[in-house]
Amino acid sequence: TGSSGRLVAMASSAQPPLSFSKNLAAGAIAGASELLVMYPLDVIKTRFQLMSGRGKSPSIVDALRALRSEGFANMYRGLLAPLGVEPLKRAIKFSANAKYAAIIIGDKAPTVWTSLACGALAGVTECLAIAPAEVVKVRMQAKERAALYKNTGDAIMKIVKTEGVGALAQGLEAALWRQATWNGSFFAMSFAMKKHVLWTPDSRGSELGRNFVSGLVGGTVGVALNNPLDVVTSRMRNVLPGEPTPYRNAWQSVALIAREEGAGALYRGFMPKVLRLGPGGGILMMAYEVIANLLR
């Protein structure tokens, strides 16, 4: 049967596959859980990435203190945009991965490389669905835009009215590369850790622990590989009409930043991002498995 392919997305070959609708539901709930816990780190990550030049970024502790001093509302500024699509994003991540696995893997045993391919394709699919919300999120998180947008609804209206609907796809090409890289790495490394490195679970608690560790490793590797593309995406999405920008496409921008600001600039925001998407990947994988088992 084609169930072997679907198991790549669910990370547990001992369980029967979920239906497409249940995959959507499990991914949605898992994604919302991870976002609510980790969002302040995402705000800091974006602000670090928008810093240009060769100056050193502040420490995460200092950035958290500064963000907290702005008030609770700013710690979660822009949350509604990603929260509105985060369930969809995570649902697509798992359900699309399962669908691509059924097509690419079929009856064959999954491998690291097929897991990578299915994950990357799932990343491209989710990116197309969430691009407008991501543009709004970056604009809301940017400290210099705080006076420009009152709230998420105001940001959406102003962007569409003054820049056109096309502005909601700003930075899409770089974002496609970013999402493909993270998702491919996440699913491939999670699969490799479970298949070749981690223990065989002998209890429900042991299985949850394995899922968390595999997601943690997958999320961390994904961040290490895609952070340069994330820096580019954030900067592209924060450009307003009439503002000069040297960023034309993903790889030209990566090369430009490395040349003018140093290679280290491509890893601005790395620590808050890895602190979010490393443990966040573990939370995501663990929450997904918990919800999936409840739905079976």
- 96-124: per-residue pLDDT in tens? 888 899 899 888 888 999 999 999 999 99
* Cα–Cα distance, 90 to 26 (Å, whole number): 9
Dihedral of CA atoms 236, 92, 182, 266 in degrees, nearest 10, equals: 10
CA distance 9 to 95: 7
pLDDT at 278: 65
Q: Please check whether residue 181 is in contact with residue 120, taking contact to mean a CB–CB distance below 8 angstroms.
A: yes
pLDDT tens-digit profile of 238-251?
999 889 999 999 99
Least confident interval from 16-25, 32-41, 66-75, 170-179: 16-25
Is 58 a residue whose pLDDT tops 60?
yes
Angle at 89 (CA atoms; ends 88, 90), nearest 5 degrees: 95
**DSSP 8-state symbol, 12:** -
C-alpha 136: how far from chain center = 15
Cα separation, 87 vs 31, whole angstroms = 5
User: Using CA of residue 253, residue 170, residue 156, residue 25, what is the dihedral sign?
Assistant: negative
Q: Give whole-number Cα distances, 15 to 38, 92, 172, 296, in Å.
A: 29, 20, 36, 9
Region 125-133: mean pLDDT is: 91
Give the relative orientation of helices 172-192 and 204-237 as an angle to the nearest 10 degrees: 160
Percent of the chain surpassing pLDDT 90: 36
Cβ-based burial of 53 (10 A; exposed 0-12, middle 13-18, buried ≥19): exposed
The sign of the CA dihedral 183, 189, 194, 196 is: positive
The pLDDT tens digits for 17-42 are 667 677 667 777 777 777 777 788 88
Q: Is 119 helix (H, G, I), strand (E, B) or coil?
A: helix
- R_g (Cα) of the chain, nearest Å: 19
Per-residue pLDDT averaged across 239-266, rounded? 93
**pTM for the full predicted model:** 0.78
Characterize 122-155 residue by residue with b for buried, 16 or more Cβ atoms within 10 angstroms of its Cβ, and e for exposed.
bbbbbbeebbbbbbbbbbbbbeebeeebeebeeb
